Each structure stands twice: as structure tokens, then as C-alpha cells.
Amino acid sequence: MKLVLKFGGTSIVSPENIRKVAAMTKLLSKEHTIIPVFSAISGVTDDLIKITSYIKARNSEGANSIARKLVKTHMEIANECVRNPKIRKDLVERMKADLGELQELVKAMLLLGEVTPRSYDYVVSFGERLSISLVAFALNDIGIRAVPLTGKDVGIITDANFTEARPLMDTTRLHVSHKIDDLAQKKVMPVIGGFAGADQHGNVTTFGRGGSDYTATIIASSIKADEVWLMSDVDGLMTTDPKIVRNARLIKEVSYVEAMEMALFGAKQIHPRALEPLVAKKIPLRIRNTFNLKNPGTLVTANPQPDTQKTVKCVSAIRHTGLVDVRGGSMVGAPGTAATIFSTLARAGVNIMMISQSPSESSITIIVKKKDMDEAVNALETELLGKMIKKVDVTVDVSIIALIGSGMRGITGVASKVFTAIARRGVNVIMIAQGSSELNIAFVVKDSDCNAAVQALHEEFELARAG
């Protein structure tokens, strides 16, 4: 098989882990053609983002001290993940050069005191640029010819929408397949850095947080891979959070759309656009644990086996969200009310997680992250209170509970089952929403009721049962 393996940052946090991952890649490459994609070492992207905040705040000590910390941890790992002295020396030199460039860059940006989206992307792309050298040289150390390639090096071309770039798939496909075929002929394994690409002028762009998943699927689609495996520190997608329900189970198979819904919740967050490149070519994806390969993980495919098709496949919760209720008589029958409310929130940089409007049109309820709550209320009150809206009410500390499963579509009685089970536990439902795709039902409860609601539903839909 032609396999794209994407390793998350926790898979490479230490020299031992890097060697383990290299050994595993070597083993798999005896049977398959392996194209590995790597995230930054965990925590590194967060640190790089912190550096950009310090630069904006003109805090040179803050920025430089994080940069020094990154130099230290990467150099320590570089010195330990390779045994052969000659290869180690080459690695150390390369790391020094890249880390030196990072420090120069930070210095220059501190002088300017400015972070543009373009320079932000360049800084945060360093995590992957560094991690792939470590792995590629660790592979060389055990006899595999491998070269580190950033997203730009391998030919991922994107639009110039820095921080949230999208690949230009036709050109990317051409460049990437060419580059990888070329290396394959020379029997060299490309070790690809996730998260970043470059626009048509060669400026480095990134795909947003978690973007290495997206890199893996872009590569897979470009070279028509047989499968993509997302390797991280979880076994796969679970029926619910095992911290809430002890007998939560691994889900065997889900469809692309189900996985997209689940990606927003749960322990394994997949980049929201990562499945897009796979859909047209129907390339299956597996979510697997780097350190527990005995476990087959969760398979994401176009057509899951009929025997895995349950009505509901998982119950998830997003805690600590806030509810904003907007009311006013003049909202009734006034076209553009919702648009005005939403654009007011958008201008304030508030992301809306869930919406519902009563048919009387006199109230719209919105769920936002708790951290966005003040901003949301502020914006609505200053811009709209007394005009279009009469009252803004807030409820803090609520949780969104969502049931996901395409088997719900067209089946009657699911909602009644859900709310009867919840009511039996004495849990009050504050708000309900169901998309017309019927792929999920989501409702809102108080944070303090979250566990009870999740447990009730996990039991009601018998999610602990195999199948």
C-alpha cells in the first residue's frame, strides 16, 4: 500500500520517541511505501505563537527567552536522537542553522515591533521545519535514506490567505506528485513537515491550528495514496469521553461526514478541512495510536460497513460555553435581524457555535465560547440595544451536548428518546438545535448537568455495546 502516516507532536516529544517512530516507519516501509508527515513537537507551535504575542507587545525579553528555550530543547533532542557521530554532526549543524534563522527573525521582528499575518505564518512554521530534520536524520541513522521537506519544499501551493490558507489543489497535485515520484525513484523517503505551504510567490503560509492533518490528506490526494493514518496518542474516536463514562468504547468505523462532525468535539480533534481532499478519491483514513499499533483504531471511509451503522455513534460535550439570548418585539418579521446580529458579533471577532430562533421571531439564542462572552454582550449592547433589540440575557457555564450519527436520518423517535432519557435524570434542557442533515442533535444544559446528560444518553443508545 501507499501509506501517508501523519504523526502528531506527542509522538516525537523525546529522543526515545523519535527513535521509536523512526523504527516503526522503517518496519512499515518493508511492506508499504511510506510517506510520513510530521507536526511540530508538542508545545512548540504554542511557544512560537507566544513569541509573536511578545513581539506585538514589544516584550523582547519574553520573546527572546522563549526562542532560547526552543533552541535548548531542540538541540538537546538533536544530540540524542541519532547514534552515528557523522550523521549527528550533520543534524546538529542543520538544526543550528534553522534555529539561528529563527532567532534572527525574532530579532528583526522585535525591531519592527510588528507581526503581519505573513510574518506570523513564517514564524509559526518553524516548528515543523525543525521536527522533520530530527526525524529524517533519525531515519538515516537506522539505514533509511530520508530527506526533510517542508510543505513548501514538497510543493504545496496555497492561496495567500495567511494563517488560514487553502491549497490550490491542481498545481499542488502536479508539484507534489512530481517531487515524491522523483524521490521514490531514487529510493529516498520524503519526511514532510505539516501545517504549512507557500503561496504562489513563495511566501510561507499555514493552514491554521492542527493543520498537519490537512497536509497529510493533501499529500494523500495528490499522490493517490491507498490510506492515510493519523497517528497520535489516542486509540481513535470514542463513543464518548472515557472520563465521563467508564465503559466508553472505541468506534470502529465512521463515514467522512460523521468524522467531520465528531472532529469538533472529543479527544481527537481533526483539522476541520482535513477530510475534504479525501472525499472525491474515497481515500480511507485511520485514526491510530502511535504507541499502540495492536489497536486497529477508527476507520473513516465513504461507506462504513452496514453492521457498524448505529443510529447514534457518539455523544460528546463541549463544556464551558456561554449562552446569549437576544430579545425584542421589533425583531419580529423584520428581515435582516439575524444578519445584523451575526455581523455585529463577527466584527467583534466572536465565533458563534450554535444558534436557535423561536418561530415567533422575538428571540434568538446564541452559544459562544466562554472567553468570547464579554465581547459578544458588549458588541450587541453598544451597537444594537434600544434599536433593534430590547434585552440581552446571558447564562454562563453551559455545555453543549451533541449526539452524532448518520443513522438518525429519517428515523422517528430519536428526539423523544433523547429527551426522555435526559428528563429521567432530572436534567433541564435550555436550548435545542438539529441541523436538517439530521446528522446530529445538539442541546444545551448547565455545566453541572453535563456528565449526567452524557451518561444517560450513552446508556440509552447502548453505545457501550460492541458493533
The nearer residue to ligand ASP, 127 or 304, going by C-beta atoms, is 127
Q: Which does 277 bind (CB under 5 to 8 A by kind): Mg ion, ligand ASP, none?
A: none
> What phi, psi does 412 have (nearest 5°)?
-85, 155
Place of cell 466508553: 248
Other CB atoms within 10 Å distance of the CB of residue 459? 15
For the bound state, the minimum distance from the C-beta of residue 369 to Mg ion, rounded and expressed in Å, comes to: 20
CA distance 17 to 14: 5
Q: Which does 322 bind (CB under 5 to 8 A by kind): Mg ion, ligand ASP, none?
A: none
For the bound state, the minimum distance from the C-beta of residue 429 to Mg ion, rounded and expressed in Å, comes to: 35
> What phi, psi does 33 have (nearest 5°)?
-85, 120
For the bound state, the minimum distance from the C-beta of residue 130 to ligand ASP, rounded and expressed in Å, comes to: 11
CA distance 63 to 78: 23
Question: Three-class SS of residue 306?
Answer: helix
The nearer residue to ligand ASP, 42 or 340, going by C-beta atoms, is 42
Q: Which does 390 bind (CB under 5 to 8 A by kind): ligand ASP, Mg ion, none?
A: none
CA distance 260 to 369: 20
Amino acid at 123: V
* Radius of gyration for the alpha carbons in the chain, expressed in angstroms and rounded: 24
Closest to 347 measured CA to CA, from 387, 380, 302, 309:
380
What residues numbered 17-46 form the site for ligand ASP, per CB under 6 A? 39-40, 45
What residues numbered 121-140 form the site for ligand ASP, per CB under 6 A? 127
Q: Which does 194 bind (CB under 5 to 8 A by kind): ligand ASP, Mg ion, none?
A: ligand ASP
Binds Mg ion by CB under 5 A, chosen from 5, 6, 9, 238 = 9
End-to-end CA distance of the chain: 27
Q: Which does 297 bind (CB under 5 to 8 A by kind): Mg ion, ligand ASP, none?
A: none
Our CA angle for 381, 387, 389, nearest 5°, is: 60
CA distance 199 to 164: 12
Closest to 281 measured CA to CA, from 223, 237, 230, 229:
223
Tell me the per-residue interface mask from 198 to 217 with ligand ASP, x by CB under 6 A, - otherwise.
Answer: -----------xxxxx----
For the bound state, the minimum distance from the C-beta of residue 413 to ligand ASP, rounded and expressed in Å, comes to: 40
Other CB atoms within 10 Å distance of the CB of residue 37? 31
CA 249 to chain centre: 22
CA distance 267 to 314: 12
* Number of residues that make up the chain: 467
The nearer residue to ligand ASP, 351 or 428, going by C-beta atoms, is 351
- Residue 211 sits in the site that holds Mg ion (CB under 5 A): no
Q: Which does 10 bind (CB under 5 to 8 A by kind): ligand ASP, Mg ion, none?
A: none
For the bound state, the minimum distance from the C-beta of residue 90 to ligand ASP, rounded and expressed in Å, comes to: 25
For the bound state, the minimum distance from the C-beta of residue 421 to Mg ion, rounded and expressed in Å, comes to: 36
The nearer residue to ligand ASP, 7 or 54, going by C-beta atoms, is 7
- Residue 9 sits in the site that holds ligand ASP (CB under 6 A): yes
The nearer residue to ligand ASP, 8 or 328, going by C-beta atoms, is 8
What residues numbered 33-52 form the site for Mg ion, per CB under 5 A? 39
Extended strands (E) in 132-221:
146-149, 189-193, 196-198, 204-206
The nearer residue to Mg ion, 39 or 240, going by C-beta atoms, is 39
Total binding residues for Mg ion by CB under 5 A? 2
Other CB atoms within 10 Å distance of the CB of residue 110? 17
Total binding residues for ligand ASP by CB under 6 A? 12
For the bound state, the minimum distance from the C-beta of residue 216 to ligand ASP, rounded and expressed in Å, comes to: 9
- Residue 167 sits in the site that holds ligand ASP (CB under 6 A): no
For the bound state, the minimum distance from the C-beta of residue 442 to Mg ion, rounded and expressed in Å, comes to: 27
CA distance 466 to 308: 9
- Residue 217 sits in the site that holds Mg ion (CB under 5 A): no
For the bound state, the minimum distance from the C-beta of residue 10 to ligand ASP, rounded and expressed in Å, comes to: 10
For the bound state, the minimum distance from the C-beta of residue 333 to ligand ASP, rounded and expressed in Å, comes to: 45
- Residue 163 sits in the site that holds ligand ASP (CB under 6 A): no
- Residue 277 sits in the site that holds ligand ASP (CB under 6 A): no
Q: Can you name the residues that pair with 401 across neighbouring β-strands?
A: 317, 443
CA 327 to chain centre: 35
Contact residues toward ligand ASP (CB under 6 A) are 9, 39-40, 45, 127, 194-195, 209-213
Contact residues toward Mg ion (CB under 5 A) are 9, 39
